[in-house]
Amino acid sequence: MKRFTKEENSWMFYDWGNSAYSIIISTAVFPLFYKASATNAGVSPANSTAYLGYTIAIATFILAMIGPILGTIADYQGNKKRFFKFFVGLGVLSTTLLAFIPSEQWLLLLVAYTFIVIGSSGSNIFYDAFLVDVTTDERMDRVSSRGYSLGYIGSTIPFIISIAIIILAQSKTIPVSATTASQIAFLITAVWWATFSLPMFKNVQQRFYVEPEPNPVANSFKRLGKTFKEIKKYRALFLFLLAYFFYIDGVGTIITMSTAYGTDLGISSTNLLIILFATQVVAAPFAILYGRLADKFTGKKMLYVGIIVYTIVCIYAYFLETTMDFWILAMLVASSQGGIQALSRSYFAKLVPKENANEFFGFYNIFGKFASIMGPLLVGATAQITGSSSSGVFSLIILFIIGLVILARVPEPKVDAAVIDTQQTI
């Protein structure tokens, strides 16, 4: 593998910083903190899981509505960095605020979490779009996969510190409560996220852009309409987004709701934290492996592998009974979660016009975010109807199967690039 450039490394290290949010806030400590708060307030396990799912759905709906609009405005020279900084700031400040909300206020916790999700997901629109600015088409799979790998490795550091503080607090080894220990973890996350955003702020620039023009907001809406027409025009792009809509929904739902699911199964918070740490460690080399195998077998074939693994995860989750079963499930997820996300990002980046990357990644985001509404709602509704969280997770198998079927009809990016202007219209 060739040495990575300064811009590539700076871009990848945002994953290193932002992934602390992904593991501590989205997946591990916050869900446990929230579930304990809701339980103490008399909310049933199934309902508290459903409310978390609904909160994720609301946050992603808001971002899905504004994402494409912001993307078109961000394509003007210099705007991409400004929007990126704003959403990073929103996420970091909201995470800091989370540490000062009283633990018994479970509803306020969900409100703060809404803004954190918007901040993180919003910054990722522009972060993903910067991929076309920092590297070439030939290196995108490797750079994207390496970014996810660094994210898994980097997130383990604040995660270890947070776990240690929480476990020591629970065992009364240090003179702080378990609640305070979790709040300290939220502050650690905010500091880590902010610190490792700085290389991106300093070293990555918008190389592809639309020249500034009068009435940028009005013209952005016009370009947004044109972009929507172009998405339908390009067969490969349209089909990929449709496939992505379904399979990434299942991936995101499993990631964000896994801890709440484990809690409903009766797995202790300590075991859940250890399992999630192991998941991060295992996921790092597998993300790199997916990138290397994509060079040999193509990104599309490796996406098939990831979707099939997640289908197996949904089936296995239905029969979960013990902590060992949850360990096996977590390792299956770890083997593919980074790879499927990284290769989806680079696969799409190879298809989009680089000077309009933000516009198209805005649509990439809206497909992903609308999908993120459907998955948590599906899990929440199924769990409430059946009274079983396992049934909720099993219901996600529908999304993976539909995504796999549609992806099979998507041409390879390199093949499509040669003919997209003349042959791939619908």
> Which domain CATH number covers 316?
1.20.1250.20
Over the stretch 245-296, which tens digit does the pLDDT of each residue have? Answer: 899 888 877 876 676 767 777 888 778 878 877 887 888 899 899 988 998 8
Q: Residue 174: give the domain boundaries.
A: 6-202+223-419
d(CA 7, CA 131): 10
* Percent of residues, the chain, with pLDDT higher than 90: 25
Q: How confident is the model at residue 217 (pLDDT cuts 50, 70, 90)?
A: low
Those residues whose C-beta lies under 8 Å from the C-beta of residue 353, and which sit 6 or more positions away, are 360
Q: Is the pLDDT of residue 102 over 60?
A: yes
Q: How confident is the model at residue 422 (pLDDT cuts 50, 70, 90)?
A: very low
pLDDT for 238 equals 80
d(CA 360, CA 348): 9
Distances (CA, A) of 395 to 50, 313, 371, 378, 407: 14, 11, 14, 7, 20
Bigger pLDDT: 417 vs 301: 301
pLDDT for 213 equals 66
User: For the CA atoms of the chain, what is the radius of gyration?
Assistant: 21
Evaluated on CA atoms 288, 291, 295, 301, the torsion sign reads positive
pLDDT for 426 equals 32
Q: How confident is the model at residue 424 (pLDDT cuts 50, 70, 90)?
A: very low
- How high is the mean pLDDT of the chain? 83
* CB 315 within 8 Å of CB 370: no
Question: Residue 424 domain-assigned?
Answer: no
Question: Residue 241 domain-assigned?
Answer: yes
Those residues whose C-beta lies under 8 Å from the C-beta of residue 385, and which sit 6 or more positions away, are none
Give me the count of residues in the chain.
Answer: 426
Residue 210 has phi, psi (to 5 degrees) of -100, 135
How many structural domains compose the chain?
1
Q: Give the mean model confidence (pLDDT) for residues 368-384.
A: 74
Bigger pLDDT: 273 vs 216: 273
Q: Is the pLDDT of residue 378 over 70?
A: yes
In b/e form, how buried is each residue of 273-304, taking b as 16+ CB within 10 angstroms?
A: bebbbebbebbbebbbbbbebbeeebbbebbb
Amino acid at 337: Q
Question: Residue 211 domain-assigned?
Answer: no
Q: Is the pLDDT of residue 66 over 80?
A: no
pLDDT for 189 equals 95
Those residues whose C-beta lies under 8 Å from the C-beta of residue 324, and which sit 6 or more positions away, are none
Question: Residue 213 domain-assigned?
Answer: no
Burial of 84 (0-12, 13-18, 19+ CB in 10 A): buried
d(CA 82, CA 89): 11
Question: Residue 324 domain-assigned?
Answer: yes
Q: 164-173, 224-233, 309-318: which has the minimum mean pLDDT?
A: 224-233
Question: Residue 216 domain-assigned?
Answer: no
Evaluated on CA atoms 33, 37, 43, 48, the torsion sign reads negative
The residues facing 129 across adjacent strands are none
Q: Is the pLDDT of residue 204 over 50?
A: yes
* CB 279 within 8 Å of CB 330: yes
pLDDT for 187 equals 95
Q: How confident is the model at residue 421 (pLDDT cuts 50, 70, 90)?
A: very low
Q: Is the pLDDT of residue 372 over 70?
A: no
Bigger pLDDT: 88 vs 348: 88
pLDDT for 420 equals 33
pTM of the model: 0.75
Q: Give the mean model confidence (pLDDT) for residues 234-245.
A: 84
Q: Give the mean model confidence (pLDDT) for residues 112-136.
A: 89
Q: Give the mean model confidence (pLDDT) for residues 120-149.
A: 88
Those residues whose C-beta lies under 8 Å from the C-beta of residue 171, and which sit 6 or more positions away, are none
d(CA 302, CA 338): 12
Question: Residue 218 domain-assigned?
Answer: no
Q: 28-37, 313-322, 359-368: which has the minimum mean pLDDT?
A: 359-368
CA nearest to 3, candidates 130, 139, 127:
139
* Percent of residues, the chain, with pLDDT higher than 70: 87
Q: Give the mean model confidence (pLDDT) for residues 155-172.
A: 89
CA nearest to 314, candidates 266, 378, 270:
378
pLDDT for 10 equals 94
Over the stretch 348-366, which tens digit does the pLDDT of each residue have? Answer: 888 877 777 777 777 777 7
Question: Residue 159 domain-assigned?
Answer: yes
- Six-digit token pair at 392? 């909720």
